[in-house]
Structure 1
Amino acid sequence: MMTAPNLLASVDLGSNSFRLQICEIHNGQLKVIDSFKQMVRFAAGLDSQKNLDEASQERALECLAKFGERLQGFKPEQVRAVATNTFRVAKNIAQFVPKAEAALGFPIEIIAGREEARLIYTGVVHTLPPNGDRMLVIDIGGGSTEFVIGSDLKPTSTESLPLGCVTYSIRFFQNKITQKDFQAAITAARNEIQRISKLMKRNGWDFAVGTSGSAKSIRDVIAAENPQEHDITYAGMKKLADKIVAAGSVKKARLEGMKPDRIEVFAGGLAVMMAAFEELEIEKMMVTEAALRDGVFYDLIGRQLNEDMRDQTTAEFQERYHVSKNQAARVAAAAQKFMESIGHAQNMPVQELAYWQQYLNWAGLLHEIGIDIAHTGYHKHSAYILENADMPGFSRKEQNILSLLVLGHRGDVRKMTELVNGNRAMWPAILSLRLAALFCRARLPLELPPFTQLRSSDDGRGFVLRISQSWLDEHPLVAGALEYESEQWQKVDMPFTVQAQ
């Protein structure tokens, strides 16, 4: 039984807790109808080599299976699952993700730190409009802390640093907590924040906002101690730190307003927040309920309303790297046509075909960004940028797909064999982009000859391009390039033949 199409679900796989939230959408407005949260303490499972232990993986899979049960009946486009810092840093995450996706029943996007910051800000700005004032948003997670400045829907500065309530609690507060421990944690966090403090201060802000568990728990405990205080202040935090030191632990301090599930990680989050106040010279901070999951929802709505951040990022990259937009549009359109041809010939499911056409559109629009660095080997430069740049809206996996398509669009096909890593569905997309670039080489308006068709060979091992002989006779440059292309695909045991008719 399918779920109502106006329902959306976000899955936030943090370093401390995993969250599932389900919302109903009406005219762009969100109404929460169900939510689940489980303290998985994922970051606590990282050993000294940055490998996740079995216990943390089991806790995560058990939680994801519960989420998966609740999400039965949801279509893929109704769900977005994002994973943050621990997924980014764990060395053995590649082995874990397939199991996690199987348990959840949906793909999991491991997002970069700055993309996490953007999504957090998107959630905050939709629920707390800044009215033209510049706000500084700080989100202390389990393994990373995000810092964002902005005054409208699009942030001006996004930063992510590797300090969080779980990692700092484990690193500094495992035994009896002393003043020395607190000072060591604050100093370590300040050293990290120093990397961005000059830029942040230069950009400036009018007010500060805290979001997520650490900020909310600090606010709640300060308010319980002093009911007139509704914001986080440094003086309020200092009192809490002194109480914890006097008692020797967070648990023994018996802090009012403290939720039991925050006890283990409270000291780490408090030290990071105190460091942020010291280094950025923050006077006070209000706290909002908005968080990463809200940003994921608004991003999903944007995608459904054809306001996809990924399209905006693509356009910005074209500007930044001085791309010839006419040529890029020609290649993107031709690549999608070739993919459509082979997709129909293979009876590819409509959704899968649309998926690859979307990636070929972005890849075609961005395949020449590397020319801004050097024309020789420009596809390698383009691929490197797409793999490593901050690209708002794109997950790491999406950037990897774009990078591979662009790397494979010219040169020796053999280099792609290991990179594609058994994902045979990528080969038709790679060939589609290669042919698009080949046919558009003259950088002039292109009309493919009638009845041009790309399909799989009869044995399913290779590809066949049907095309007009008379057209090839008129375009000897393309005809010669197609012969070279045929030689390339022989090298990877996927014959590509041209049937001229």
Structure 2
Amino acid sequence: MAKWPQTSSPHRHRRRRKGSAPCFAAIDLGTHNCRMLIAEPGKDGPVVIDGFSRIVRLGEGLGKSGNLCEDAIQRTISALRVCAGKIRRHNVVRSRHIATEACRQAVNCKDFFEKVQAETGITLEAIPAEEEATLTLTGCLPLLTGGHSRALMFDIGGGSTELSWIDLTACVPHAIGIMSLPIGVVNMMEKNASPDCTADRFQCLVAEVDALLAPFDTEFGISETFAREGALMLGTSGTVTTLGAIHLGLTRYDRSLVDGLTLDFTDINRLADRVSAMPCEARKALPCIGPERADLMVMGCAILKAITKRWPAGQLRIADRGVREGLLVRMMQDAAKQ
């Protein structure tokens, strides 16, 4: 059964009024996507007035060469030009443009940043995995409700997967522990050498991810907490939002219906098994997956299954928010102090 918490969506775009509040912009350049939000301060947090998202696959081939390839660089610069145009058009007063795992790993990251600056005027910065997880937590705070004392939050990215074990008892929830796994949907797919895999191979992938989760689990006693008192589980990634959309039977993705959706593990497992058993061509035909994501969904499902198998919370709350919202909140808070 699907459930929604009583919280409003921060992505209800609205038309700007002349003379309205100053605008802020946040760009999150990941291994797979280039995404931006432009917002102005509101009574209950950032009010989004414009956005942009494009699949750029910046990390394509990175695992083999150690460098960002020229095709991926050009795709990304093309997307960032659109972002730069929107930033100018909205007269943004403050912005931050961060890059994550692909740029953390790439040998030619500095050259890439210089090229982006020269061709778009956008200054990128590669942030540590810990800051990425902290920004995701800030962006997801409105969904960390429900009466639990602890929450496990995860973000399945293109080049890495971040997990945070969160204390919900403080006035402002904060991470007790953060772990960044060097695996994401893009590098797992390239390592697997195929967008499809047999049922046995899929279970091997789940086991490989589970082995990486074990030290984090042991260090913070996460399994014991789930067994003793339960905890909230929150997932933010294209994998979980896509499965949420499929569960709802959407013919076109609708963020307002997916963000904050809670699914039972029986539904999560059924959906992950169904999608991972499909051939890539069949996944392409699903409207909320399509050709651009079809080759990555099996890997995302393997990571998700490893997480839900190790920590059987029973339910998963889905977040279609994260780093960009966290950046906006931080910038607006800093501006208010000045």
Indicate whether the TM-score tops 0.5.
Answer: yes
- Are positions 1:298 and 2:329 aligned together? yes
Equivalent AA in structure 1 for residue 31 of structure 2 = S
Contact between 2:283 and 2:294, CA under 8 Å: does it hold in 1? no
Q: Aligned partners of 2:49, 2:215: CA distance in 1, in Å? A: 41
Tell me: CA distance 1:223–1:18, structure 2 relative to 1, closer, same or farther (3 Å).
same
* 1:137 corresponds to 2:153: yes
Pairing of 1:337-416 with structure 2 (within 5 A): none
**Structure 1 unaligned regions, length at least 5:** 308-501
Deviation at residue 117 of structure 1 after TM alignment: 0.4
Instruction: Classify the secondary structure of the residue corresponding to 1:44.
Output: coil
When the two chains are superposed, the root-mean-square deviation of aligned CA atoms in Å is 2.8
1:160 to 166, 180, 185: 180
Choose which of 260, 273, 288 in structure 1 pairs with 2:304: 273
Structure 2 letter corresponding to 1:206? A
* 1:280/1:199 CA distance change after superposition, 3 Å: farther
Q: 1 CA distance for matches of 2:20 and 2:121?
A: 18
Q: 1:207 to 1:178 in 2, by over 3 A?
A: same
> Secondary structure, in 3 states, of the residue corresponding to 1:37?
strand
Deviations 1:451-482 (A, max 9, x none): xxxxxxxxxxxxxxxxxxxxxxxxxxxxxxxx
Structure 2 Cα separation of the partners of residues 73 and 167 of structure 1? 36
Q: Determine the C-alpha separation between the residues in 2 that align with 1:286 and 1:246.
A: 24
Contact 2:80 2:122 in 1 (8 A): no
CA shift, 1:173, in A, is: 5.8
Instruction: Using CA pairs under 8 Å that are at least 6 residues apart, name the structure with larger relative contact order, 1 or 2.
Output: 2
State whether structure 2 residue 235 is matched by structure 1 residue 210.
Answer: yes
Q: Which runs of 5+ in 2 are unaligned?
A: 1-18, 251-260
| Native 8 Å contact 1:139 1:210 kept in 2 | yes
- How many angstroms does 1:195 deviate by? 2.6
Match of 1:113 in 2: 129
Per-residue CA deviations over 1:88-144 (Å, capped at 9, x if unaligned) read 111111211111233342321211001100000000014545666422211111111
Q: Quickly say closer, same or farther: Cα 1:114–1:48, change in 2 above 3 A.
A: same
Partner of 2:254: none
SS of match in other structure, 1:285: strand
What amino acid does structure 2 have at the position aligned with 1:289?
D
Q: SS of the counterpart of 1:155?
A: strand
Change (3 A) 1:302 1:154: farther
2:282 match = 252
Q: Deviations over 1:30-67 (max 9, x none)?
A: 11111110001112241513211111111111111121
Q: For 1:32, which of 41, 48, 57 is the aligned residue?
A: 48
Deviations 1:310-332 (A, max 9, x none): xxxxxxxxxxxxxxxxxxxxxxx
Task: Write the distance in 1 (CA, Å) between the matches of 2:26 and 2:201.
Answer: 37
Counterpart amino acid of residue 108 in structure 2: N
Partner SS state of residue 174, structure 2: coil
Would you say 1:91 and 2:107 are equivalent positions? yes
1:250 shift after superposition: 3.5
1:360 is matched with none
Give the 3 Å change call, closer, same or farther, for CA 305–279 of structure 1 in structure 2: same
- Give TM-score scaled by structure 1 length: 0.55
1:47–1:53 contact (8 Å) kept in structure 2: no
Count of residue pairs brought into register by the alignment: 301
Instruction: Report the TM-score, using the length of structure 2 for normalisation.
Output: 0.79
Pick from 258, 267, 273: which aligns with 1:236?
267
Percent of pairs identical after alignment?
A: 24
For the residue of structure 2 that corresponds to 1:222, the secondary structure is: helix
Verify: 1:224 aligned to 2:249, yes or no: yes
Paired residue secondary structure (1:124): helix
Q: How does 1:465-480 map to 2 (within 5 A)?
A: none
Q: Flag the 1:284–1:26 CA change in 2: closer, same or farther, 3 A.
A: closer
* Residue number in structure 1 paired with 2:211: 191
The structure that has the greater radius of gyration is: 1
Correspondence list, 1:292-331, <5 A:
292-306=323-337
Sort the Cα spacing of 1:246 and 1:266 in 2 relative to 1 into closer, same or farther, 3 A.
closer
Q: State the Cα distance separating 1:299 from its structure 2 match.
A: 1.1
1:476 matched residue in structure 2: none
Partner of 2:75: 59
Report the Cα distance in structure 1 between the residues aligned to 2:320 and 2:30, rounded to whole angstroms. Answer: 16
